């Protein structure tokens, strides 16, 4: 991920934030900053908290920006991304478009998350899913201080973590976009949009 800046005035504050690894290149009057995404197992507790805060901000504090998505029930910017993923399902998941489409989706989600919490260094972490396969593995995302548990066995309702549904039915993560083919809420995007996946050795 490369960010371009016309001024280096924000550099001291950015360097004080150790969330990401930086590659800084000064070319004439421009500063190019390359942010390197971390694996979930390498995130500090404050980094996890900032990521969760950004996701909740996009879900609850940033309004929908796509009129067609709003017409289908989208309320927030996060809902917009659920809607986009749902409506691009066939084209984005079949054939050569799969990788570039999802790469661009993650890039735009990441930028919106940065804007939501005014943090230009925030990045979407990697889930090393080939090694972090259960709750005993470092980097497993479904823990109480990050994504919450996998949900109840019978209902799949998540009861722990920042995206939980409370026993009284209240939640900071209400699903608004419905899959017309199945008449069910598109909850799968909660996890699939969160992480950049990485192949072993890449």
**Residue 139 maps to a domain:** yes
Same domain, 94 and 24: no
Same domain, 188 and 131: yes
pLDDT, position 180: 57
82: domain range? 39-197
Same domain, 187 and 131: yes
Q: How far is CA 138 from the centre of its chain?
A: 19
Same domain, 167 and 183: yes
Same domain, 104 and 124: yes
Same domain, 103 and 157: yes
**Residue 85 maps to a domain:** yes
Q: Are the CB atoms for 125 and 38 separated by under 8 Å?
A: yes
Contacts of residue 158, defined as CB under 8 A and 6 or more positions apart, other chains included, come to 148, 149, 150, 151, 164, 165
Query: How many domains, the chain?
Result: 2
Q: Tell me the pLDDT tens digit for each residue of 142-152.
A: 999 999 998 88
In angstroms, rounded to a whole number, what is the distance separating the alpha carbons of residues 105 and 99?
10
| Residue 7 confidence class, pLDDT cut points 50, 70, 90 | very low
Pairing of strands 196-197, 178-179: unpaired
Q: Tell me the pLDDT tens digit for each residue of 100-136.
A: 999 999 999 999 999 999 999 999 999 999 999 999 9
Structure tokens at 177: 């976009």
Q: Tell me the pLDDT tens digit for each residue of 126-143.
A: 999 999 999 999 999 999
pLDDT, position 6: 35
């Amino acid at each position: 991920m490369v960010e371009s800046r016309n001024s280096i005035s924000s550099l001291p504050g950015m360097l004080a934030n150790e969330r990401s690894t930086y590659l800084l290149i000064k070319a004439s009057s421009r500063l190019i900053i390359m942010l390197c995404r971390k694996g979930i197992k390498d995130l500090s507790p404050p980094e996890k908290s900032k990521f969760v805060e950004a996701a909740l901000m996009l879900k609850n504090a940033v309004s929908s920006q796509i009129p067609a998505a709003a017409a289908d029930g989208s309320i927030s910017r996060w809902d917009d991304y659920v809607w986009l993923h749902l409506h691009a399902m066939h084209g984005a998941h079949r054939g050569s478009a799969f990788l570039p489409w999802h790469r661009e989706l993650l890039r735009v989600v990441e930028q919106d998350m940065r804007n939501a919490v005014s943090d230009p260094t925030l990045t979407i972490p990697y889930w090393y899913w080939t090694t972090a396969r259960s709750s005993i593995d470092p980097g497993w995302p479904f823990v109480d201080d990050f994504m919450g548990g996998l949900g109840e066995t019978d209902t799949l309702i998540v009861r722990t973590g920042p995206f939980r549904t409370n026993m009284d039915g209240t939640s900071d993560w209400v699903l608004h976009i419905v899959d017309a083919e199945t008449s069910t809420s598109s909850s799968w995007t909660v996890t699939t949009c969160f992480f950049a996946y990485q192949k072993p050795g890449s």
